[in-house]
Structure 1
Amino acid sequence: MAGGITESGEPYSPFVGLVYMFNLIVGTGALTMPKAFAEAGWAVSIALISFLGFMSYMTTTFVIEAMAAANAQLRWKKRKQEEVDDSDSTSEYSDDDVAVRGRSEPETKPILSVPHRRCPVFSERSGGHVDHFDIVERVEMGQMASMFFNKVGVNMFYICIIVYLYGDLAIYAAAVPISLMEVACGNHSCSAGSVKYNDTDPCWGSVTRKDAYRLFLTVFTLLLGPFTFFSAQKTKYLQILTSLMRWIAFTMMIVLALIRIGKGAGEGRPPAASLSGVPNLFGVCVYSFMCQHSLPSLVTPISDKRRVGSLVVLDYVLILAFYALLSFTAIFCFDSSLLHDMYTLDFTDNCSVLDVPFLRYFLGLFPVFTISTNFPIIAVTLRNNWKTLFHRDGGTYPWVVDRVAFPLITLVPPIVVAFCTHNLESLVGITGSYAGTGIQYIVPACLVFFARRSLEPAVGRDAVNKHRSPFRHAFWVWFVLLWAVSCLLFVTANIILNDVKK
């Protein structure tokens, strides 16, 4: 999706925007959440996910406010340039005229002379009155960073988004082969219940499950890796298909778990609290609420943005309820010690829950189809971010660097990580805890802080951003930053302590 009709693609209704945001947030992270819930305990989990959902909502409102501020700044600069152009094209004064003109007007003018009213408005050349803060042009987070941050801040932003995208690709690269391995090597006979396998267990003859995983990862790399060297476009109908499959799968899992619990056959006896599982749950929850980096593409095409704030609230309430329902039905339906990193796998080899072979295969292969469609898009996004990070004005890359080097540094690291480990819960936890904390907390807080500071000298305190966050006091910005730093320190200390114990 790309501002107005020309910049942001075909406009859509607020309801469609709500659905898109829901689909954007609810993804791979949801499949790793049940195991994280079981390890941290149901009471701790519901408290933490509720708080993290609130924090994610707050920073989402920060990004939307920063988007409106960026649109206002771009509009003011455009109007100033138009005034300069008009002045140049009509300037035919004599020296005396200029002297008189200079005595009657100040030598310097602000970017925009703000009328004495709360919401500054001006008439554009195309006609009509437009609010400065209308979000009509898509301004991506990288562009906002370049508008509001200094050079160091811009580079830090790109490093953060690159690390996050690397984590995303590593998770995707591991999730698909795991699903294929479980379908090919798992227990599909209804003569036994759920079984927890080891990597060294046989799959086909002398081929172990770990060997099968690496074989499928190699095939996955050969099939989808080449897309990194090209552009991923026109995926609209593919995304609709994968979204449909996703909701069929999620609905099936929730209904099947509820039926089993209702029959009194649930095996789960999760603890109320287990602090050892909190750090990983934190990373999983942060990752599962991630949407801030995609908000410009999501919000800009909404036709009526007056209700964006209410829609965002509703979306987060629905997402929180969905995560709680999915995870609670899982931890009370299945034995916590047997839960897989990816929740769909708990249905593929447990015929007491689902005894229809076709549906078991559908759930087992569901991540293969949905994740595979996203891998090329994320890879191309990461490749383009690398190019932007090293780009210099007026410079171009040699063909080898542009078409070979950048795709390779995009593709190779996550594939190597996936070859070394397929512990999805850890991959999601680390990605969410570190890069996710930066993208979801630190960057939005800094964007809105510097956006407010950059606008005030130009328009004064009377200009009201109609898309401003409900958390407009500076306290909330510092609270988010303090929370982010505390989380990073806590997670790091926990990882060090666990390594010492081992």
Structure 2
Amino acid sequence: MAGGITETGAGYSRLVGLIYIFNLIVGTGALTMPSAFASAGWLLSLVIVVALALVSNMTVSFVTETMGWANAKLRQDEGQSHVPPVNKPEIDYIDDVDESSALLPDCENGSLDHGTNACEMTERTELGQMANMFFNKWGLLAFYLCMALYLYGDLAIYAAAVPVSLRDVICTYKLPNATEACNNSLKLTDSDTCWDGRDISRGQAYRICLAIFFVTGGPFVFFNVQKTKYLQLFTTLMRWLAFGTMVVLAVIRLSKGQGQGHPKAADFSGIPNLFGVCVYSFMCHHSLPSLVTPINNKKGLFRLIGIDFLLILGFYALISFTGIFSFNKLNDLYTLNFLPDPCDSSEPVTNVQVIQYFLALFPVFTLSTNFPIISITLRNNLKTMFYKGDANPYPWVVDRIVFPLGAIIPPFIIAFCTSQVEFLVGVTGSYAGAGIQYVIPAALVYFARKKMKSIVPNMKNPYTSPFKHGAWIWFAYIWATVCMVIVTVNHIITGK
């Protein structure tokens, strides 16, 4: 998942919305996808990632439908019988809407062709706001707890990925007998030396980089920082320059017949980790309101999102398949595979050191800019979760010191204990990620339908999910439960 969201304000076209959703979803998870594919086998991985993409797309439609119900609820609470006319679309390639008809239809009109609807999404309603509308106090507490756990896991992934990338770039020590090490599939461990003639180990170097990251990135949690569109543009360009470079280099290597990868077709022991990585890699549900609401013309919205998921699925398959067939061994972070490998008998992927170091340091560039935003989001969620409704809920020390430290310290403790980025992605996606991606959307749409039907029985929502039968909600619950059970059993059996 990428950390960026768009700034609210002016609306944009459907094409821009598609790009924003694509950029939101494709992020850190994509860097761990090739390793997860290699561990589960190329055919089994492809089947699972397609299934997970379909289920994720279904629950995105649940969130979208709930946003429509939430807008109708807001208007009902404010005593409005109608919705103001929406902004004229910037570009409309599909239909011509008569502006004079975009006024005041009744709540029973579910069509957008002849006007707007009480469920029209003109107000941004975040997940927390919708949870407040439709959940009871226990459901609301469970929601914020799940969100906090996911954000903690997200920050722990960032806190580990940045120091790992820095450590692997600055440490120059190689195993003394490279041939024997390669033949026996030996890897450098945390106890190995970082530099020849130095007493600093790779584990110590990792923790030094972690401390530097904590000192430089941690203090932002005490302030209110918002990513500007220029910073978002910079990180987006960096992301696609890096992804594009990796795909092109891997394709060139394969075209020369230098591919070293011979992945299995299926390895069921890799399913649990692949599940967690894929759930994390398709996550957009928590930021969907910020991306969908500003789209001016929302006609065909589900088709738009479906196209986005299809493109993302194709991209994940492309980067994973080129990776697993190009490299014999894959690092947790795919970018590190583009550094010279002494165990690779073929030519290096690239001899251009600038490209090597740019790719290896890519997580440092992008994740460092997202880390403050997510830490502030977590801090605010913690405040909301413990809020009792008082006018002045927290003393200054608790508000300005305790909550920021409570948001920032646990992720760094986790990162201090383990540098296994793929493991952190798998655990975060398998548990908290599954809750946000499957359980919460299903619960939201169920209680939203139930509540709005009791208020206005004949109200029609033009954003009703294509998966509108109640059986799909139960399917989402069962899917999440089965997946989490499989992951838990695997952790118990393997001890990992």
Give the TM-score category using the shorter length. 0.7 to 0.9
- Which residue identity does 2:131 align to in structure 1? A
- Which residue identity does 1:394 align to in structure 2? D
Q: Name the CA distance, whole Å, in 1 between partners of 2:80 and 2:51.
A: 44
Q: Name the CA distance, whole Å, in 1 between partners of 2:146 and 2:54.
A: 22
Asked whether the equivalents of residues 66 and 444 of structure 2 are also in contact (C-alpha less than 8 Å), the reply is yes
1:233-259 per-position Cα deviation (integer Å, ceiling 9, x unaligned):
243211110110110110111111111
Q: 1:348 to 1:452 in 2, by over 3 A?
A: same
Match in the other structure for 1:433: 430
- Which residue identity does 1:144 align to in structure 2? M
1:303-337 per-position Cα deviation (integer Å, ceiling 9, x unaligned):
111132111011000000000000000000000xx
Match in the other structure for 2:93: none
Please list, as runs of the form range in 1=range in 2, the aligned pairs for 1:394-473 lying within 5 A after superposition.
Answer: 394-396=390-392, 397-460=394-457, 462-473=458-469
Please list, as runs of the form range in 1=range in 2, the aligned pairs for 1:363-374 lying within 5 A after superposition.
Answer: 363-374=359-370
Q: Name the CA distance, whole Å, in 1 between partners of 2:433 and 2:333.
A: 20
Quote the offset at 1:152 in angstroms: 0.1
1:399-456 per-position Cα deviation (integer Å, ceiling 9, x unaligned):
0000000000101000000000000111000000000010000000000011110111
Match in the other structure for 2:75: 75
Match in the other structure for 1:342: 333
Asked whether the equivalents of residues 382 and 403 of structure 2 are also in contact (C-alpha less than 8 Å), the reply is yes
Quote the offset at 1:118 in angstroms: 3.9
Q: 1:116 to 1:277 in 2, by over 3 A?
A: closer
1:259-297 per-position Cα deviation (integer Å, ceiling 9, x unaligned):
111111101000000011100000000000000000011
1:173-220 per-position Cα deviation (integer Å, ceiling 9, x unaligned):
0000011011101579xxx99984221221131111111110010000
- Which residue identity does 2:144 align to in structure 1? Y
Please list, as runs of the form range in 1=range in 2, the aligned pairs for 1:212-291 lying within 5 A after superposition.
Answer: 212-291=205-284
The equivalent position to 2:191 in structure 1, one of 200, 206, 210, is: 200
Asked whether the equivalents of residues 287 and 436 of structure 1 are also in contact (C-alpha less than 8 Å), the reply is yes
Match in the other structure for 1:11: 11
1:89-137 per-position Cα deviation (integer Å, ceiling 9, x unaligned):
xxxxxxxxxxxxxxxxxxxxxxxxx96954399xxxxxx9741011011
Q: Name the CA distance, whole Å, in 2 between partners of 1:287 and 1:119.
A: 34
Stretch deviating more after TM superposition (196-205 or 445-454): 196-205
Asked whether the equivalents of residues 71 and 135 of structure 1 are also in contact (C-alpha less than 8 Å), the reply is yes
SS in structure 1 of the partner of residue 79 of structure 2: helix
TM-score (norm 2): 0.88
Residue 115 of structure 2 is aligned to residue 132 of structure 1: no
Match in the other structure for 2:153: 167
Quote the offset at 1:363 in angstroms: 0.6
Match in the other structure for 2:88: none
1:52-101 per-position Cα deviation (integer Å, ceiling 9, x unaligned):
0000000000000000000011011112699xxxxxxxxxxxxxxxxxxx
The equivalent position to 1:119 in structure 2, one of 110, 123, 135, is: 110
SS in structure 2 of the partner of residue 202 of structure 1: coil
Asked whether the equivalents of residues 186 and 349 of structure 1 are also in contact (C-alpha less than 8 Å), the reply is no
SS in structure 2 of the partner of residue 79 of structure 1: coil
Please list, as runs of the form range in 1=range in 2, the aligned pairs for 1:293-332 lying within 5 A after superposition.
Answer: 293-332=286-325
Q: Name the CA distance, whole Å, in 1 between partners of 2:232 and 2:421.
A: 23
Match in the other structure for 2:97: none
- Structure number with the higher helix fraction is 1
Residue 285 of structure 2 is aligned to residue 292 of structure 1: yes
Q: Name the CA distance, whole Å, in 2 between partners of 1:362 and 1:494.
A: 36
Please list, as runs of the form range in 1=range in 2, the aligned pairs for 1:376-387 lying within 5 A after superposition.
Answer: 376-387=372-383
Q: 1:262 to 1:115 in 2, by over 3 A?
A: closer
Q: Name the CA distance, whole Å, in 2 between partners of 1:357 and 1:80.
A: 62
Asked whether the equivalents of residues 249 and 350 of structure 2 are also in contact (C-alpha less than 8 Å), the reply is yes
Q: Name the CA distance, whole Å, in 1 between partners of 2:60 and 2:107.
A: 31
Asked whether the equivalents of residues 106 and 118 of structure 2 are also in contact (C-alpha less than 8 Å), the reply is no
Q: 1:257 to 1:242 in 2, by over 3 A?
A: same
Stretch deviating more after TM superposition (306-315 or 379-388): 306-315
Asked whether the equivalents of residues 191 and 203 of structure 2 are also in contact (C-alpha less than 8 Å), the reply is yes
Quote the offset at 1:349 in angstroms: 2.6
How large is the RMSD of aligned CA atoms in angstroms? 2.3
Structure 2 residue runs without a partner (length 5+): 83-104, 342-346
The equivalent position to 1:154 in structure 2, one of 131, 137, 140, is: 140
Q: Name the CA distance, whole Å, in 1 between partners of 2:332 and 2:221.
A: 27
Q: 1:400 to 1:310 in 2, by over 3 A?
A: same
Please list, as runs of the form range in 1=range in 2, the aligned pairs for 1:9-48 lying within 5 A after superposition.
Answer: 9-48=9-48
Match in the other structure for 1:355: 351
Q: 1:2 to 1:248 in 2, by over 3 A?
A: closer
TM-score (norm 1): 0.87
* Aligned sequence identity (%): 54
